[in-house]
Structure 1
C-alpha cells in the first residue's frame, strides 16, 4: 500500500512531528511505500531515518515569503502564528501546498493520506481531493487554534467533518472533536500514543547519595509552566537539588526573560536535544517535571518513566485517566491545575498557590526513593500503527 503523510510543520521538531515520524517508521516495517509533504524553511532538507519520497514546501521563499506556520503560538523555531495570517498569506499557503500535493498525487499515487492536525492544511487536502481516502490526526493544538481565533474556522469545520476518519489520542478529545468540527462520532477512533523503546530505557546510570537532579523537557515558555517551575524551585525546602531544562523557544524575548529568572548555580539550560541526547538526560536525572498548562498526551512523560524517572506533572484533563488505563504502576505525582483564564492561559492570581503546591510535590518526590516497576508494554508505536491501519481497513471507527 502507498501512504502519504501530510503536515504543515517541520517533521521531528515537535511532539506531533515525532508522532508522524514514528508512525512512518512502523508503516515502513509493515512493508508500505511512503511519501511525505511537509513545511520547511528555505535551504533546509527533510531528513528521515527511512526511505520515503519527499515533497517539501519551502517557507521564507519567493512564493511563500514568511516563516513556517506553527500549531502552537510558541514553536521551538521561528514561526508564523496562524492568527496573524492575512488573506494573501493564506492564499500563498494554499497555492504552494496544493502545488506539491498535486505533484505527490501524480508521481506517488497514494492509496491512503494521513494528515496531521485537524486544521487548515487538512481542510485544504480534503477539499482538493474528494475521491481520496483521507484521515486526520488530532494533536490537541488544533483544537486550541479552533477555539482561540476565527481564521478559516467555518471552512475548516466544513472539510474536517468530511474526512473518512479522525484519530484522537485519548477519549476526552472525542466530544471536543464532535463539538468543534461537528464530526460524526462513528468517524472518530482513539489510537493513543507510543514511545521508542530502543532509545528510551533505564540505563542504570544513577548514583545514590548524590544531589538529586530534576529535568524538564519541552518548549521553554510560560504556557509549558517553566516560569512557575523556576519560582517553585526557590520555594522548595530541599536545597540539595539541581534543575536542567531541555528545549528551545521561538519567542526570543520570552526566552531571555526566562533565562534571567533561571540564573543560579543549580539551574542549567541545555538547549534543544536530539532523541539520543534526551535519553541520556533522562537517565542522568532522578525526577522529570512537566508543569504544563495544556497538553494532549505528553510523550516526554512516557519517555521519562521508561528511563526510570519519577514524574511530577500537572493533572492535565484526561491525561491521568489515559495513563492509568494504559500504563501499569506509573511513577507519577500530580499537581492540581490552577484556575485557567483561557484554554492555555492560567489565571495569574492563581499561580502563587499553584507554585507552592508544585514545590511541595517536588519536595516529596525528592525525598522518596521508592520507584515502582512501571510496565509500558501496552504503549508502543507498532500498536498505534496497527490501530490506525486497522481503522482504515474497517472504515468503521470505535471509541475504545
Structure 2
C-alpha cells in the first residue's frame, strides 16, 4: 500500500469529524462560498455557545445568590471544555490553508527512490499506527461514554428520587441559567435535547482537531523514521569512492537534505495550526483535571460521579496523548542526527563527509510543538500539568473541607 493510500485510510476518522461538525477545509474565494461551506459549523457554534453563556450566567448569579460551592464548580469544567473546543475548531478553520498544505505534503511525500527496503518500510508503518489507533479510538470511546452519561444520568436520578420519595422531580444534565422556566413540562423536553446536543458538540469539537493532530503527527513520525533509516544506509559497506559512487552519493545527499527540510516545514505547519489552541489547552487542562477530580469526590449522586469519572478520563487522556505526540516529534527529529553518526561515514573522504554535517547540524535543533512559544509540548509538560492539577486539587479540597465551607 502506498503512502497516499495509507494516509487516506488513516484520515477516515477526520473526514467523519468534518462532516459531523460542518467543517470543510476547501479553499473559499468569497464570503458567500465560505458561509456555504461552514453554515452547519456556525449553527453548531451558536447552539453550543448559547448554553456556554447560560452556564457562565448560572455561575455568576449562583455566586451572587449564595449557591453551594459544589453546585458552582459543577459547571466550571464544562465551561472550560466548551471554550477549548471553540478555540480548537476556530484555529483549524483560520489556518485551513496550512491544513490543506500539510495534507497535500504528507499525502504525497514519497521517497521510494531513496528507500528501497520495502520490508523495513512496511515494518515502520506497522509499528507507528497502533499508537495512533490507540489514541484516536480510546478518546472516541471515552467521549461516547461521557456523552451517554451526561444524557442519561438525569433520568437515573429522577427514577431514583421517585423510587425513594414517590415524588417526581425533573433534572437536567447541566446547570444553565435561562430567562424562562426550563422545568416547565412543555419546555423541558426541548431544553433537555438542546443540552445533550450541546454536550455532543463540545466533546467532538475537541476530539476532532485532536484526531487530526494525532494522525498527521504519526505520518510526520513515520517520515522521520524512514529518513533516519535512509541516512544510516546512505554509505554502502562496499563504498570505494569511485566516480560513479561519489556521484550517486551526492545525488542521495541532495534528496535527503530536501526530504529533511520538507519534514521540518511540515512540523512548522503543524505548529502554526495548533500552537495558539495548545496554549489554551495547556492552561485549562490543570483546571479541568483539578475541578473534575474535586467534583468526583464531592458530588453525592453516583450517576453524576460516574459522569465526571468519564469526563476526567477524557481530559487526562486528551492532554496525555497530545503531549506524547509532541514528545515523539522532538525525539525522532533529534534521532536524525544520531543516524549520521550511525552511517558508515568513515568510508568516504573528509571533503565528502562534510555534506553529512549539514544534516547533523540541523538535527541538533529539535522540531517541536509549543504552547505559543511559552512551553514545549512533551511528556515533561504533561508531568508539570499533573503536578499543577494536584496542587490546585489539594488547595480546593482544603478550602471546601474547612468549617462552614459546604454551606457557603
- Normalising by structure 2, report the TM-score: 0.22
Query: Is the helix fraction higher in 1 or 2?
Result: 2
Query: Is the strand fraction higher in 1 or 2?
Result: 1
Question: With CA pairs under 8 Å and 6+ residues apart, which has the higher RCO, 1 or 2?
Answer: 2
